[in-house]
Amino acid sequence: MRPQGSQTPIASWRAVLFDLDGTLADTVDLILRSFRHTMDAHLGEVPPDARWLETIGRPLRDSLRLFARSSEEASLMAETYVTFQRACHDDLVSHYREVPELLAGLAAAEIPLAVVTSKRREMALRTLDRCGLGRYFEHVVCADEVERGKPDPEPVYLAVTRLGVPAGPDVLFVGDSVFDMRAGRAAGVSTGAALWGPIDREVLAAENPDHWLGGPLEVLDLVRPSGTGPQRP
């Protein structure tokens, strides 16, 4: 069995995968505004934000089905949500502090990088572009490219396949949600819980992540064992 909650670096990561929302990009305000607008438009009332935050990390339509009264309404909700998000996206999205330094350090170590997100490709690429992060990633795996999104391991498998590496504990998947942790665990890769996102540590603890990450640059501590490898900027 792999140790749970270990902070021991692996000498050579074959690849590092990242979730997007809540991990690389601070999109929480955008997500919550889109949720409130959609619920008000379709239900005439807005459930507590906490209920929507519990769904972060899943494909949008899967999450909306928890609130819609029918599959048809869920589809209409998705259209409303995406339309609203397109209109205000650029004003409400930014990268988390230290993320550019983290990605530059991983690139300097020549570690293959990919994004594994529950966003659809259009908005995922727009978010990466707005945050100035797209150049660091060889591949971006999105919800509209798989049959089963997170927490199913399919998106993780697709990412490592595209990177040309096998899924195993020497691949690290960094994310902020329970769905990231479950997808990574099911795929057999190591998981890193990003504590700078919107999900509380107590919630993530139930998933037994392999690594706890208090800030983005702590990822670099996992790729420079014994004083070697990339240094923090």
Q: Which residues are catalytic?
A: 19
How do beta strands 211-213 and 190-194 pair? parallel
| DSSP strand pairing (113-116 vs 139-141) | parallel
Q: 77 exposed, middle or buried (CB, 10 Å; 0-12, 13-18, 19+)?
A: buried
The span from the CA of 142 to the CA of 118, in Å, is: 6
CA–CA separation, 54 vs 44, rounded Å? Answer: 21
Distance from C-alpha of 127 to C-alpha of 30, rounded to nearest angstrom: 11
Q: At what angle do helices 71-92 and 121-131 cross, to 10 degrees?
A: 10
Residue 14: what residue type? Answer: R
Quote the CA–CA distance of 36 and 29 in Å, as a whole number. Answer: 11
DSSP string computed for 207-220: T--SEEESSTTHHH
**Both tokens of residue 143?**
């919800």
Q: How far is CA 223 from CA 13, 15, 117, 145, in A?
A: 7, 10, 23, 29
